[in-house]
């Protein structure tokens, strides 16, 4: 019997909503730059757009399903669990369409006390924790699941680790919705364990502990809030399997896997490594493509790099960090960060979280690289380019 309250494939309403999607997120200017070899020259300014940028398939699908859900259930309350993606404009647009956003608590959980079987619930592209999904199903409300396929692939890997008695080591941000949902997959198996590590520095501490060169106290201080319940450092790190948040820096994820693999081989012997260590690359292809594209772009002569996307977007932050290694980089949330009259720009530096402002940022700048995170719609890219041009008294020439 088909489950009539769980939906993962949309409702076949693409034609009904495609006009709204185009109006809300399309950019003729971006299409024009693409058609021109990803280059736009206006006056003394040259813009070079990365070969891969903006909405990925998973984000595109999630947004489309959200619009379809609103169209399919026009008379019912539609509740979204957190943000559909990490882009404020998209989430604000859904709210303007009557979608209610249920905000998570500090632990990433949701208060479902107000939900009834008459409500329709949207699961975001990041997915939700196992316990939240189970509670939703017990309520009996229709659930539209937009969880990205790349995220589901990671979940399958983590499940397999837990099933086989391996602790899942997740390279990710422990506070991120996706990582919370991914780590929770171990709870599908009795005794399932996880540990979340943020970066190479934390991976090196983990390796020192594996090799007997760091204490349990040191591990508790760093990882005590990033492990599964009843985690025992001296027991649960003898067999580990690597996975990652899909939007992490791909090169770092690979380096971490190599580092931990080497430590396990040293501790248990190369001939027994397979008994104690598993690794599988779970960076999504779209994240990899966008990172590869900016690596290629910053090899071009550039005076500045603009990275557009939400400040809480993991993949956008990583794009900015990659670019900042080579060229002056400004990570902006959207075009409103560009002050045309004052020729100033507000941006999020790659270190820290506070927004900074730079005046005269276009002095001597002639060649500008542009990219955007996987949650950034094309119209926000086009608007940013137009405001940069306006800052120096230029406009996009007529087609």
Q: What is the pLDDT of residue 4?
A: 83
> φ, ψ for residue 330 (rounded to 5)?
-125, 115
SS3 of residue 261 by DSSP: helix
The answer to whether residue 2 scores a pLDDT higher than 70 is no
The answer to whether residue 396 scores a pLDDT higher than 90 is yes
pLDDT confidence bin for 299, thresholds 50/70/90:
very high
The DSSP call for residue 56 is -
CA–CA distances in Å: residue 300 to residues 44, 250, 347: 17, 22, 23
The answer to whether residue 3 scores a pLDDT higher than 50 is yes
Q: In what order do the strands lie in the sheet with 277-279?
A: 194-197, 167-171, 240-244, 277-279
Closest Cα partner for 65 from 14, 101, 5?
14
pLDDT confidence bin for 349, thresholds 50/70/90:
very high
| Fold agreement between 57-147 and 150-283 | no
Residues belonging to the active site: 178
The answer to whether residue 283 scores a pLDDT higher than 80 is no
Q: Looking at the domain 57-147, which fold is it?
A: Rossmann fold (3.40.50)
Q: What is the pLDDT of residue 1?
A: 35
Reading the block at residue 5, the tokens are 């309250």
Instruction: Report pLDDT digits (tens) over 128-143.
Output: 999 999 999 999 999 9
Q: Looking at the domain 26-56+286-391, which fold is it?
A: Cobalt-precorrin-4 Transmethylase; domain 1 (3.40.1010)
SS3 of residue 166 by DSSP: coil
Options 3.40.50.450, 3.40.50.920, 1.10.3720.10, 3.40.1010.20; CATH for 150-283 is 3.40.1010.20
Instruction: Report pLDDT digits (tens) over 184-217.
Output: 999 999 999 999 999 999 999 999 999 999 999 9
Contact (Cβ atoms closer than 8 angstroms) between residue 207 and residue 267: no
Instruction: Report pLDDT digits (tens) over 48-96.
Output: 999 999 999 999 999 999 999 999 999 999 999 999 999 999 999 999 9
Q: What are the extents of the domains in the chain?
A: 26-56+286-391, 57-147, 150-283
Instruction: Report pLDDT digits (tens) over 224-281.
Output: 999 999 999 999 999 999 999 998 888 899 999 999 999 999 999 999 999 999 997 7
The answer to whether residue 286 scores a pLDDT higher than 90 is no
Q: What is the pLDDT of residue 375?
A: 93
Mean pLDDT of the chain: 95
How many secondary structure helices (H) and strands (E) does the chain include? 14, 17
Contact (Cβ atoms closer than 8 angstroms) between residue 132 and residue 80: no
pTM higher than 0.85: yes
pLDDT confidence bin for 102, thresholds 50/70/90:
very high
Q: What is the pLDDT of residue 173?
A: 95
Rounded CA-CA distance 284/147 in Å is 13
Contact (Cβ atoms closer than 8 angstroms) between residue 377 and residue 24: yes
SS3 of residue 224 by DSSP: coil
């Amino acid at each position: 019997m088909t489950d009539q309250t769980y939906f993962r494939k949309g409702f076949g309403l693409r034609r009904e909503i495609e006009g709204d999607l185009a109006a809300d997120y399309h950019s003729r200017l971006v299409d024009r730059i693409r058609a021109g070899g990803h280059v736009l020259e206006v006056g003394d300014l040259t813009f070079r757009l990365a070969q891969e940028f903006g909405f990925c398939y998973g984000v595109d699908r999630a947004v489309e399903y959200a619009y379809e859900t609103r169209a399919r259930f026009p008379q019912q309350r539609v509740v979204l669990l957190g943000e559909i993606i990490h882009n404020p404009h998209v989430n604000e647009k859904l709210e303007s369409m009557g979608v209610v956003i249920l905000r998570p608590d500090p632990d990433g959980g949701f208060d479902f006390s107000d939900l009834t079987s008459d409500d329709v619930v949207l699961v975001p592209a990041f997915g939700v924790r196992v316990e939240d999904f189970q509670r939703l199903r017990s309520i009996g409300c229709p659930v539209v699941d937009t969880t990205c396929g790349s995220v589901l692939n990671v979940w399958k890997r983590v499940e397999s680790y837990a099933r086989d008695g391996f602790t899942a080591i997740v390279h990710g941000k422990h506070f991120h919705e996706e990582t919370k949902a991914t780590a929770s997959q171990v709870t599908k198996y009795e005794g399932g364990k996880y540990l979340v590590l943020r970066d190479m520095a934390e991976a090196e501490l983990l390796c020192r502990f594996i090799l007997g060169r760091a204490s349990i106290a040191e591990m508790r201080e760093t990882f005590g809030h990033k492990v599964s319940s009843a985690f025992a450092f001296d027991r649960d790190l003898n067999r580990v399997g690597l996975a990652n948040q899909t939007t992490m820096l791909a090169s770092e994820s690979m380096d971490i896997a190599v580092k931990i693999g080497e430590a396990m081989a040293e501790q248990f012997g190369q001939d027994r490594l397979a008994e104690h260590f598993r690794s599988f690359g779970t960076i999504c292809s779209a994240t990899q493509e966008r990172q590869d594209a900016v690596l290629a772009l910053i090899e071009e002569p550039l005076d500045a790099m603009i990275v557009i996307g939400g400040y809480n977007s993991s993949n956008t932050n990583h794009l900015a960090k990659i670019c900042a290694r080579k060229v002056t980089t400004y990570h902006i949330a959207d075009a409103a960060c560009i002050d045309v009259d004052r020729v100033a720009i507000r941006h999020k530096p790659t270190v820290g979280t506070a927004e900074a402002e730079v005046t005269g940022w276009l002095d001597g700048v002639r060649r500008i690289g542009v990219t955007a995170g996987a949650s950034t719609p094309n119209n926000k890219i086009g608007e940013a380019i137009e405001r940069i041009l306006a800052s120096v008294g230029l406009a996009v020439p007529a087609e």
